[in-house]
Amino acid sequence: MRRVASLPMKSSQTKVVGMSIQSPEFLVVIPARLGSTRLPRKPLADIGGKPMVIWVAERAQQSLAQSVVVATDSVEIQAACNAYRIECLLTSSDHLTGTDRIAEVAQLLKLPPDTLVVNVQGDEPLIPPTLINQVAQTLANHPACAISTVAVPITDASEIDNPNVVKVVLNRSGEALYFSRATIPFVRDRVSCPPVTHLRHLGIYAYRADFLQAYTRLEAAPPEQAEALEQLRALWNGYRIAVHTASEAPPAGVDTAEDLERIRRLLAK
C-alpha cells in the first residue's frame, strides 16, 4: 500500500490478552471543507491555540493508521496543516460529499483496490483512536463488505423518535439492513415483544479503495434522497456495510458555536 512519504510507518502489531495479533493496514483521510453553513470556517476554529482540524489529525495519528491525510479544497487549511507537519492534499471544490473528496484522494495516491481507507470527520477533535482502529478492523473482518461503520446502543429513550438521531438495524451477521431517521425497528406491540435495543449510527466509515471509485459513478438513490443519508446509496446498489457495535458513544463533535465552546472547555482542562 502506498503511504504518504512525510509520515512514518507504524507497526501494525497490537496486543490482546498477552499475545500479539496482526492489525489491518489502513490510512485515515480527513475531509475538511472551509465553507460550513452552521459554523463558518469550522476546520480552522481555534481550540487552545490550534485549529480544530489539527486536533482531529493528531488524534488520528494516535491510531494504528499507517498514514493520516487531510483532504481539503482550501489553501488556508492546507497552510495550517503544513505548519503542523500534517500531510494535506488539495482537492476539487466541486465535491458534494466527503466520500467524493476521499475518492479523489484515493485516485491521487493511486491506492490499490483492496486498501482500507478510514473516513474521520474533520469536526471530531475528541474522537477515540481506538474507535478508528475498530472500524478498520471490522472491515478487515468482513471481506464481503465494501464499507464498515459504527453504532452504539441508544440509552436515552428520547433519541429513539428523534429524526436528528440516525438509527440502524443489523442482520445476524452484524451487517446493516437499513439506516433511517425514523424509529427502526418500530415496536408494534410493546407488551408481547421481547426487549429491543435500538442502535444509533455514528458517522465514521472505512471503505475499500475500489468501492470509493465505484461510488463516484453511482446515482443518488431514492431512499438516500428521502432520508438525506448518503450511506443508503451503497445499500440501494447492493453493497454490504459491516457495523461495529461499540459499548458507548464517543464525545460529540462540533456542529454549532455552542458545541465549539463545550469542546474548548473540555480540552482546556
Per-residue pLDDT in tens (0 to 9) along the chain, 269 residues: 333 433 333 444 443 334 334 678 999 999 988 876 677 888 998 998 999 999 999 999 999 999 999 999 889 999 999 999 999 999 888 887 888 889 999 999 999 999 999 999 988 999 999 999 999 999 999 999 999 999 999 999 899 999 999 999 999 999 999 999 999 998 887 777 778 889 999 989 999 999 999 998 999 999 999 999 999 999 999 999 999 999 888 888 888 888 888 889 888 87
Burial of 58 (0-12, 13-18, 19+ CB in 10 A): middle
- Full-model pTM: 0.86
CATH number reported for the structural domain that contains residue 256 in this entry: 3.90.550.10
| Residue 10, in any domain of the structure | no
Domain limits for position 263: 26-268
For 178-195, give one letter per residue: b (16+ CB within 10 A) or e: bbbbeebeeeeeeeeeee
Please give the pLDDT value at position 2: 36
Q: Tell whether 4 is covered by a domain.
A: no
pLDDT of residue 37: 67
By C-alpha distance, which of 132, 141, 136, 160 is closest to 56? Answer: 132
Return all residues near 136 (Cβ < 8 A) that are at least 6 apart. 23, 24, 26, 64, 65, 116, 118, 148, 206
Cell of 55: 486536533
What is the number of other CB atoms lying within 10 angstroms of the CB of residue 92? 10
The whole-number pLDDT of residue 190 equals 74
Q: Is 16 among the domain residues?
A: no
Whole-number pLDDT of residue 6: 37
Please state the separation of Cα 19 from the chain's center in Å: 29
14 assigned to some structural domain: no
Phi and psi torsions of 44, nearest 5°: -95, 5
Residue 1 included in any domain: no
Q: Please indicate, yes or no, if residue 12 is contained in any of the structural domains.
A: no
Q: CA 119, CA 193: separation in Å to the nearest integer? A: 37
pLDDT at 94: 82
Residue 2: inside a domain, yes or no? no
Number of domains making up the chain: 1
Task: Please choose, from the candidates 25, 31, 10, the residue with its C-alpha nearest in 3D space to the C-alpha of residue 88.
Answer: 31
The answer as to whether 6 is a domain residue is no
Q: What is the pLDDT of residue 87?
A: 94
